[in-house]
Structure 1
């Protein structure tokens, strides 16, 4: 009985930490909204795509508009409906809030034109800011798409309503995944479970 109670308390405490953060891709021109995001470990980031054809790829700060090996990659998500976001959404779970995630759109010259963003920028480093990343991107000679499979680092999901997610594990349940979920969801489960266990023992 005590074991089952402990597990239940861990799930509740862990689930309470996670939240959904929506990012509009190209809704109001060549930009991400918001372009600068603060997220905690276990939070789910949902990129929602607007016309005409955009993408999300992870880059290193020193190499904007170039894909980071093994980094996030949504693939291209074309849509023509200006009244709503595309049915296909790219989602991933933050597992290390201390590691900045720099990203950009790989379409045409979108990266050079300022379609870039960052999750958890290093606030103690004035040289590594979103503005600095944007200025460096403007000078990039080319805009490169990853060669990895679309959905890398997270998952592609059908459906734009994620009001019922995440579950206590931090993984998405609504919609239909079209790409394999990465180990990010597994790591989120471990984080939530451990934190929940500690909370139960303290209380």
Structure 2
């Protein structure tokens, strides 16, 4: 039993942190796709008039039922407002920017997206060209944080580098939720993180120390 507990703590401590720049150089997620494991954390850095919302492959530019949404960001504090998302599956996760026309213009991205076959990021972007963008009602599936609040998260992770390669997994999302039409570029204020579900953020701060302490106790 002690061995299993230690292994679990060690695995959590080695979770990676992936950083995605949202709109730093135009209508782009950079990197566009990342490979992530269960327990990893993705931090989206926002630049004015951009956001991130989960979608399904078969319904690009439309909110995914039960998916995450950062809320809109129209401020001028570039790169300092961040959305923290905890990865809970290895299945492909598709997302887009809800600002008017950005999704249609190719501002889409994803986690664990196949690199071949019919459901690639290129196919998702192509399908988005002829759709209408919809925006979720409010913040969900993640947490908004400022720089100082997540500094320890990135510092304590052993895998804090940006992932640029896409995985070979397959799959697609489920039907979209009931949504509201976006109000246009930069027209809404940044939402509060109050009321976010408890399981949406899994900080690794202190976990490695706990694992090492537990190992010492075993000895």
Q: Name the TM-score class by shorter chain.
A: 0.7 to 0.9
1:96 aligns with 2:89: yes
CA distance in 1, matches of 2:147, 2:74: 15
Give the TM-score normalised by structure 1: 0.73
Matches within 5 A, 1:101-180: 101-123=93-115, 126-140=117-131, 142-147=132-137, 149-150=138-139, 152-159=140-147, 162-165=150-153, 178-179=193-194, 180=196
Contact 1:158–1:178 at 8 Å: present in 2 too?
no
Cα–Cα, structure 1 residues 28 and 160, in superposed 2: closer, same or farther, change >3 Å? Answer: farther
Q: What is the aligned counterpart of 1:19 among 16, 20, 42?
A: 16
1:57 aligns with 2:53: yes
CA distance in 1, matches of 2:119, 2:27: 22
Higher strand share: 1
Cα–Cα, structure 1 residues 154 and 136, in superposed 2: closer, same or farther, change >3 Å? Answer: same
1:181, distance to aligned residue in structure 2 (A):
3.9
Count of residue pairs brought into register by the alignment: 171
Cα–Cα, structure 1 residues 29 and 160, in superposed 2: closer, same or farther, change >3 Å? Answer: farther
CA distance in 1, matches of 2:22, 2:11: 32
Contact 2:24–2:47 at 8 Å: present in 1 too?
yes
Which string of whole-angstrom CA distances, capped at 9 and with x for unpartnered residues, describes residues 145-193 of structure 1? 012x31x11111122674421668xxxxxxxx8242442447x99xx9x
Q: Which residue of 1 aligns with 2:188?
A: none
Q: Which residue of 2 aligns with 1:171?
A: none
The residue matched to 1:164 in structure 2 has which SS?
A: helix
The residue matched to 1:183 in structure 2 has which SS?
A: helix
Query: What's the RMSD between the two structures over aligned residues?
Result: 2.9
CA distance in 2, matches of 1:100, 1:89: 22
Contact 1:58–1:68 at 8 Å: present in 2 too?
yes
1:139, distance to aligned residue in structure 2 (A):
1.3
Structure 1 unmatched ranges of 5 or more: 169-176
Give the TM-score normalised by structure 2: 0.68
Q: Which residue of 2 aligns with 1:66?
A: 62
